[in-house]
Amino acid sequence: MFEKYKKLLTQYVAFKSISTDEAYKPEMLKTANWLMELLGSFGFKTKLLKGKFCNPIVFAEYVVNSKFETVLIYGHYDVQPAEKVDGWGSDPFKLVEIGNQKSKFKNKFIARGVVDNKGQNLIHIVAIGELIKQGKLKYNVKFMIEGNEETANPDIPQIVTKNKKLLQSDYIMISDGEIHGTSPTIEASLRGGFSMTVTYITGKTNLHSGLFGGAIPNAAHELTKLVASLYDKNNRVVIPGFYDGVINVDSLTKNIHKKLHGNGKHITKLAGVQVLCTEKGCDFYTQTGLRPTIQATGIKTGYIGDGYANIVPAMAEARLNVRVVSPQNPAKVFELIKKYIKIHAPKHVSVSITHTEFNQPILVDINNPKVKEVRGLLKKVYKKEPLVKYVGGSIPIVADFKKLLGVETLLVSLGNDDCNMHGIDENFSVDLIKKGLDFSTQFFSK
Amino acid sequence: MFEKYKKLLTQYVAFKSISTDEAYKPEMLKTANWLMELLGSFGFKTKLLKGKFCNPIVFAEYVVNSKFETVLIYGHYDVQPAEKVDGWGSDPFKLVEIGNQKSKFKNKFIARGVVDNKGQNLIHIVAIGELIKQGKLKYNVKFMIEGNEETANPDIPQIVTKNKKLLQSDYIMISDGEIHGTSPTIEASLRGGFSMTVTYITGKTNLHSGLFGGAIPNAAHELTKLVASLYDKNNRVVIPGFYDGVINVDSLTKNIHKKLHGNGKHITKLAGVQVLCTEKGCDFYTQTGLRPTIQATGIKTGYIGDGYANIVPAMAEARLNVRVVSPQNPAKVFELIKKYIKIHAPKHVSVSITHTEFNQPILVDINNPKVKEVRGLLKKVYKKEPLVKYVGGSIPIVADFKKLLGVETLLVSLGNDDCNMHGIDENFSVDLIKKGLDFSTQFFSK
């Protein structure tokens, strides 16, 4: 099965299915067609779902027995941009295998998308294809593999709503993440959130910094005061009510996180930073997985081109990314931030605020029977106790599935944590691919 | 004389001598040649001075008698960009005259450069040309009219040094500013200063705001803390020693400034802001003319393009424009700011700082005999007591003249204060042009 997987992965990663660049539109269609053909060859009924803006979504369905339970597997065939000149050791769109005896994962496949997400969704495709051939498939299976995960597909809610019946299922499975070291993981939560733009206007036009500087309001000064005011010296957000609803971490999770955190040096090394700036007494995993945050992702004010402009900027804009945790409501948190800004901004500043869609945070009940089954199986395959991972990122579609289909998602990561997803030399451990194929086969097998 | 001036100004402003755009290089040369021809026609010996980067500088000399004193008049023939689509009422490079009975200045000429600086240097050219014709010129006169004032000509110190003998003179006169209302002004000081860039690095690369946000340093947060920390709530710069050397304003000047300031509404209206943010108890004119300041002119961090990037920025950069007043030393003030930043920045931030040339502040002795003569003449021509103006801006060449030639500059503004220099519909009051011609004629006349 591994050899078949390798052959197919070689073809799959060769498509330059880069969704962030319109120029690759034809390549997206080729990739979708390749998936349709592959799934069709296993006996799946296939169909392309189309949205207003997005690349076609590959939908495929295989019914073993209408009385069986149905599992919907979500994945994506689009990838981040990659060019050899970025620093790759080889052509990013040609699968290569390298051996490194020093690494905890000895052999690795390298290519763009090898982990995120082609390599991971292909594990389920190949394992299930084999089970169909052997007549051992335990569930009816549906695949939904989209082409705009990397660009935050705006059509998803509409497409899911429109195809509610088609997508209906008992469980949803997503494998689009990393395990921790050599320990398998099940993801128990995802932060939700939104982005917002705060614009400060202090005057009709930029003025001369010589003729007016020091005597009139400076939008850059005013906005920096706002952003700087958001955190106290213990790195807590000072906005009243910002932490309302946040659940205290239970002592079991706290202990696991403390152990994972250790002295934190592996984290600062991975992140390329000097120190961690968690809240007082908080470890990295609790901080990113179970605590809300506000991060400035960009500031725009004045002149930042070559040379200098001698101006007092009349406009300044901050982009903020807000992350909330279950059961917080991102819309409510937005109102708190808005209220704080309105109170904080001086009267002579004209303030405007916009925001993106609100993504709901996700909390999986790790004691539900299906999750327990997955955990047991992971332990059997990886020969290690699975870790419960609280993820700082968001996968908006998980909230959409919950809201629109009423179905919980099983978040089973299969990638190695040094895979360098989105970076150069993206790689997937051969050992973990084999374990992934084993897990998928056992999970879907009668 | 006015009709001749008008005819010449019409030709002069028609040249698109925009120095900020390389595309207009040929137009610069045409303008310089036009000036050479004009000055030559009055009997001046002319010459082009060339630098490494700059457009040719028009130099012209007329010797009446080698025993007479020499006045060097500095001006510039380059202008700011202008296009009708910016909102001009007419083609910016075609002189038009409009009448507005409501304005304190009834008739005005409108065109790019009409005040800044073609219209002002042409006043001296025409007045002196006429005096030569009549045999009444009292001084030997030199003109230095450059083509890169708007782009901060980097060649000036080198050209002035190289042509020290050529430029040697007893007095220098510059008319490149605005009078106050209908009161003539003499400029008694210019702020000096420099620009600097402060770069904060908190990590090797931008990181995912979901996966890392809240647990690692954010360069945007750190830099906003620095910029926000520069001022106290009374708008004073908090850097130790920043105001060292600043001279207390004498009570005469204070009273004049208070009177000019009034309730400040004409200033907020002119500036297009809601309030003034001067230091406690400080009027606008004292603040901008006689107090140092630090102004953020731009901040660069994170992603500010369309949409959002979910990142924790690893780099943030602030552009600061620093203004100092005589007798402060900009190099010393830079060291104070640098020291403050080094102390203020957290250990986990890697800081780098660069700066531009230091421009020395200028203080004119308003009691020196030549300045007194100019003030007396201004009173006679404008029929109003001249105001002494402390200017917040810098004219770097004034410091260069003082340092390299050892000569003080007479700063006699001729423009109206609603001229909208650098903006749309730049205009010059016809009444003030006539007064300017009168002043120049009387000053240079035997």
d(CA B174, CA A163): 76
CB-count exposure of residue B352 (10 Å: 0-12, 13-18, 19+): exposed
| Residue A35 reports pLDDT greater than 90 | yes
In this complex, is the C-beta atom of A51 within 8 Å of any C-beta atom belonging to chain B? no
Q: Is B254 helix (H, G, I), strand (E, B) or coil?
A: helix
Q: How confident is the model at residue A228 (pLDDT cuts 50, 70, 90)?
A: very high
- pLDDT number for residue B436: 97
d(CA A168, CA B440): 89
**Residue A211's closest CA among B126, B115, B293?**
B293
CA distance B320 to chain A (A): 9
For residue A69, what are its two tokens? 């339970």
In the DSSP assignment, the letter for residue A103 is: S
CA distance A395 to chain B (A): 10
- pLDDT number for residue B357: 86
CB contact under 8 A, B308 and A321: yes
Contact (Cβ atoms closer than 8 angstroms) between residue B386 and residue B375 = yes
Residue B302 to residues A32, A106, A359, A424, Cα–Cα distance (Å): 34, 36, 22, 20
Contact (Cβ atoms closer than 8 angstroms) between residue B215 and residue A287 = yes
B228 vs A224, A309, A323: nearest CB: A224
Break chain B into its structural domains and give their ranges.
2-190+362-444, 192-246+292-355
**Residue B328's closest CA among B194, B228, B230, B188?**
B194
Using the Cα atoms of residue B4, residue B7, residue B8 and residue B10 in order, give the sign of their dihedral: positive
| Residue B395 reports pLDDT greater than 90 | no
Average model confidence (pLDDT) across chain B: 94
Share of chain B above pLDDT 90, in %: 78
Mutation target vs B (from A151, A265, A297; most B CBs, 10 A cutoff): A297
Domains B2-190+362-444 and B192-246+292-355 share a fold: no
Q: Residue B333: which residues within 8 A CB-CB, separation 6 or more?
A: B242, B292, B322, B324
CB contact under 8 A, B310 and A272: no
CB contact under 8 A, A295 and B213: yes
Peptide bond into A346 cis (omega under 30): no
In this complex, is the C-beta atom of B238 within 8 Å of any C-beta atom belonging to chain A? no
CB contact under 8 A, B276 and A208: no
- pLDDT number for residue B99: 86
Contacts of A80 in chain B (CB under 8 A): none
Residue A135 to residues A65, A319, A328, Cα–Cα distance (Å): 12, 53, 45
Q: Which segments of B15-44 does DSSP mark as H helices, in order?
A: 25-41
- pLDDT number for residue A103: 67
- pLDDT number for residue A309: 82
Crossing angle between the packed helical segments A219-229 and A330-344, to the nearest 10 degrees: 130
Class of domain A2-190+362-444: alpha beta
Phi then psi for A72, rounded to 5 degrees? -100, 125
CB contact under 8 A, A216 and B277: yes
In this complex, is the C-beta atom of A319 within 8 Å of any C-beta atom belonging to chain B? yes
> What average pLDDT does this structure show over A378-398?
91
pLDDT digits (tens, 9 = 90+) for A75-93: 999 998 888 888 899 999 9
Chain A 276-295, residues with CB within 8 Å of chain B CB atoms: 276-279, 284, 287-288, 291-293, 295
Q: Residue B98: which residues within 8 A CB-CB, separation 6 or more?
A: B89, B107, B108, B110, B427
CA distance B298 to chain A (A): 4
A298 vs B231, B301, B347: nearest CB: B301
For residue B263, what are its two tokens? 């309730």
pLDDT digits (tens, 9 = 90+) for B103-155: 667 899 999 999 999 999 999 999 999 999 999 999 999 999 999 998 878 89
CB contact under 8 A, B392 and A211: yes
Q: Residue B446: which residues within 8 A CB-CB, separation 6 or more?
A: B136, B137, B138
Chain A residue whose CA is closest to B232: A225
Nearest 5 degrees, angle CA A225-CA A229-CA A233?
A: 135
- pLDDT number for residue A424: 84
- pLDDT number for residue A393: 86
| Residue A101 reports pLDDT greater than 80 | no
> What average pLDDT does this structure show over A334-358?
96
pLDDT digits (tens, 9 = 90+) for A163-176: 999 999 999 999 99
Mutation target vs B (from A205, A216, A233; most B CBs, 10 A cutoff): A216
| Residue A313 reports pLDDT greater than 90 | yes
Contacts of B311 in chain A (CB under 8 A): 297, 321
Give the A:B interface size as CB pairs under 8 Å.
272
Cα Rg of chain B (Å, integer): 24
The answer to which of A124-138, A218-232, B394-408 has the lowest mean pLDDT is B394-408
First to last CA, chain B: 18
> What average pLDDT does this structure show over A251-279?
92
d(CA A232, CA A229): 7
In this complex, is the C-beta atom of A248 within 8 Å of any C-beta atom belonging to chain B? no
Nearest 5 degrees, angle CA A341-CA A342-CA A348?
A: 110
The residues with which A207 forms a beta bridge, in sequence order, are A312
| Residue B16 reports pLDDT greater than 90 | yes
Chain B residue whose CA is closest to A317: B304
Contacts of B313 in chain A (CB under 8 A): 296-298
- pLDDT number for residue A268: 94
CB-count exposure of residue A246 (10 Å: 0-12, 13-18, 19+): middle
Contact (Cβ atoms closer than 8 angstroms) between residue A198 and residue A353 = yes
pLDDT digits (tens, 9 = 90+) for B173-225: 999 999 988 999 999 999 999 999 999 999 998 888 988 999 999 999 999 99
- Which residues of B105-159 form beta strands (DSSP E)? 107-110, 140-146
- The owner of tokens 């899911």 is A160
Residues A386-399 as b/e (b if ≥16 CB within 10 A, e otherwise) read bbbbbbbbbbbbbb
CA distance A307 to chain B (A): 9
- pLDDT number for residue B420: 84
Chain A residue whose CA is closest to B222: A228
B231 vs A221, A273, A276: nearest CB: A221
How remote is the C-alpha of A49 from its chain's centroid?
Answer: 22
> What average pLDDT does this structure show over A5-21?
95
CATH of region B192-246+292-355? 3.30.70.360
DSSP string for A269-288: HHHTBS---PSTT--HHHHH
For residue A136, what are its two tokens? 């051992």
In the DSSP assignment, the letter for residue A86 is: G
- pLDDT number for residue B310: 84
| Residue B306 reports pLDDT greater than 90 | no
Contact (Cβ atoms closer than 8 angstroms) between residue B187 and residue B413 = yes
**Residue B245's closest CA among B324, B191, B323, B192?**
B324
| Residue B355 reports pLDDT greater than 80 | yes
- Which residues of B175-241 form beta strands (DSSP E)? 185-190, 192-201, 207-208
d(CA B173, CA B121): 10
Chain B 339-368, residues with CB within 8 Å of chain A CB atoms: 347-348, 356
| Side chain identity at residue A362, one-letter code | I
- CA-CA-CA-CA dihedral for B372, B376, B382, B386, to nearest 10: 40
Cα Rg of chain A (Å, integer): 24
d(CA B336, CA B237): 12
Q: How confident is the model at residue B66 (pLDDT cuts 50, 70, 90)?
A: very high
Indicate left, alpha or beta for B264 from its phi (over 0: left) and psi (-120 to 50: alpha).
left
- pLDDT number for residue B379: 97
- pLDDT number for residue A171: 95
- pLDDT number for residue B103: 67
In this complex, is the C-beta atom of A234 within 8 Å of any C-beta atom belonging to chain B? no
Q: Is B424 helix (H, G, I), strand (E, B) or coil?
A: coil
